[in-house]
Structure 1
């Protein structure tokens, strides 16, 4: 018992005198603690950890794109005043946590970006809820590696958290904000990093092989062959003339003139070199598939469908099939874990995906034109979405009449309108 306890203490960076209760740890947890480097050994011979995975450019870009989008999209707490009316839940303590200050050191975007990165790599993200007067007033993030989740016989969820001093602490669902990815048991999300370890391992080995080739290999663009032995003077003159007349971008495209039977031969990539490059390119697509990110967002635009309207359709697919999945996970987890049950009927968390159009003036303009023309946004509402002050005249509150509306219907402001007179 002491031997394994000391190993666990070393893995956690604690003194050997610290003991751990191995009887309450699953075989998988013990195996992960004892695994060298804390990662997963792959067939390619490299141990994949969270840190090593993020050194792969494709994996970094995928995690950064999704986490950055979730972190920067507008998020608000909405109150349902009636079946047709929605208003921001101004003054609610949770709204401050979600939109202003989740804890003492993070901004909302920093908190969401970090939690989403945990969710992508580990399949789970956890934060300790700080309660005050029956409301959540802060969220303190917990690294997924410190949390073990178990469902008890009464169907309640128990969280076993390892604190920084090496001690275990038992928490209930009331204490933990839990973002759960795709799951097979409904209790704990699947770790994407563990399932894509072979692809990441192959990408790491390919990068290392390329680095070793750059360090020890020779890269020649061509050779000059001479039928006879050249004197040092002739060799120096040929080299000087070649560098002066044909080297550099300003001499690109010039045709060399060689003397005394000298011949220039270019050297291209071998078949093995081309296969190596193709393999590295394939790894980008493979990693992008795991995260659901269109390849063109990683700079992989070699495929025909990545040009023209293909990029636009891939972007739409990313929002529809990848991003919306994560946004819905956040919205429902916030309602389940952070909103009191007594307020479930009136409060909701909402991401505003219109923020994705902020950099696309053409799409944003078309959206506003349609909204104004068909009467579901008035000018002042559109101006508010653009962070502009309302118009000074009364026309800013008027809703346009849709062009296909039958009959003589006057524009309406939606406020203090007189009811139609009886015939």
Structure 2
């Protein structure tokens, strides 16, 4: 049996009973047994607002999509280095290590590193876990095959090792050992399974989905929930239908938008329910958007909410720094430690490290201010700065300048205070 057939479901082997799982396209749950129905009801995908919330369906909410896109973009676009400790003070790129090729060139046969990291990070945020099969040849890691979290079940054995069960599309279950799975875990309450922010933000997201449906219906019907017409007499079925058709045509907008409604035969019109403005629908949407940003760890201004731009600090810059410190750094640390554990293993001299300086790669002013300070204080040489900017080295560019407070010159003699200093 070919490797890809075994793991990705191309075999015609008899299928085992599949477990209930969310589907990628519609976000629904496949139910095959009464036990699966009980499990689906217990997980509570239906919210108090009446909306069914799943990780895939929640991405239809603009605030959720924006927050996930921002969080994933940081990990996807930041280069990750595989470093080797040469001695206590020297580090070098471990380009000969298999993990270097996976993280910098090609994690598998069809994805780039940015695509792989972005997808895995999205799984981590939306579902609390991200899985990839570690394909090895002669003990060396060759590729990382992403596995959808809804098809993976993780459990801890009596000896405290982890065991994974992957359900293929044909229903067959594949057992995987702990050293065969690259497993990213987010916030966890049991040390094994990550919890999803979507689970705890379900009511807020469900409310947002319901408001979206309400808004679409309201504006589709002329920005009024409903209208009642009062007639002093009695209308027959034909007259009622003609009147309803005329009113619907008027409310459809077009050339009649903004015109007055003319009623005949002493009829009167009155609203039957509150309008969207009366119910402060727009304000409710803003409140929901802020809550979603809080759940997903993104400052509101990054998802388009700039009204409360001091909620994370005194201004946009402070909010952005707060995001880097409390959200992005958390994601980067999860990736680094998981790579060290699952891909590098026992080689203590090799480790993964994101290049955090890339966060200011798009800000040329901040980048060059950092370069100038690194040169002034002897942290970097001119050629090291040029290398960071993808420029070739220059002659004499491997020097390190002395910091300003240690520049040459003898210290003046101490004044004993007997005579005032002489002036020219």
> TM-score scaled by structure 1?
0.75
| CA gap 1:295/1:12 in 2 versus in 1, 3 angstroms | closer
- In structure 2, what is the equivalent of residue 167 of structure 1? 172
Q: Whole-Å Cα distance in 2 between the matches of residues 352 and 272 of structure 1?
A: 48
The counterpart of 2:197, out of the listed 179, 185, 192, is 192
SS at match of 2:406: coil
Q: Whole-Å Cα distance in 1 between the matches of residues 108 and 21 of structure 2?
A: 31
Contact 1:40/1:49, CA 8 A, preserved across alignment: yes
- In structure 1, what is the equivalent of residue 373 of structure 2? 370
Give CA-to-partner distance per residue, 1:59-118, whole Å, 9 cap, x none.
000000011110010111111111111110022222101110000110000000000000
Gaps of 5+ in 2: 1-15, 25-30, 225-257, 259-273, 411-424
Gaps of 5+ in 1: 14-19, 220-246, 248-268, 410-423
Give CA-to-partner distance per residue, 1:198-254, whole Å, 9 cap, x none.
0110000001100001101248xxxxxxxxxxxxxxxxxxxxxxxxxxx9xxxxxxx
Q: What is the CA distance between 1:21 and its match in structure 2?
A: 11
Q: What is the CA distance between 1:371 and its match in structure 2?
A: 0.3
Q: Does 2:215 correspond to 1:210? A: yes
Contact 1:135/1:340, CA 8 A, preserved across alignment: no
Q: What is the CA distance between 1:277 and its match in structure 2?
A: 0.8
Contact 2:22/2:150, CA 8 A, preserved across alignment: no
The counterpart of 1:114, out of the listed 115, 119, 122, is 119
Give CA-to-partner distance per residue, 1:168-189, whole Å, 9 cap, x none.
1111111000000010100010
Q: Whole-Å Cα distance in 2 between the matches of residues 310 and 402 of structure 1?
A: 33
Q: What is the CA distance between 1:51 and its match in structure 2?
A: 2.2
Contact 1:77/1:350, CA 8 A, preserved across alignment: yes
Question: How many pairs were matched up?
Answer: 341
Q: Whole-Å Cα distance in 2 between the matches of residues 309 and 367 of structure 1?
A: 23
Contact 1:39/1:49, CA 8 A, preserved across alignment: no
Q: Whole-Å Cα distance in 2 between the matches of residues 9 and 294 of structure 1?
A: 35
Relative to its length, the structure with more helix (as a share) is 1
Contact 2:301/2:309, CA 8 A, preserved across alignment: no
The counterpart of 2:139, out of the listed 134, 144, 156, is 134
Q: What is the CA distance between 1:272 and its match in structure 2?
A: 4.5
> TM-score scaled by structure 2?
0.75
The counterpart of 2:301, out of the listed 296, 300, 305, is 296
- In structure 2, what is the equivalent of residue 351 of structure 1? 354
Contact 1:152/1:158, CA 8 A, preserved across alignment: yes
CA-based RMSD: 2.9
| CA gap 1:218/1:200 in 2 versus in 1, 3 angstroms | closer
SS at match of 1:140: strand
Q: Does 2:284 correspond to 1:279? A: yes
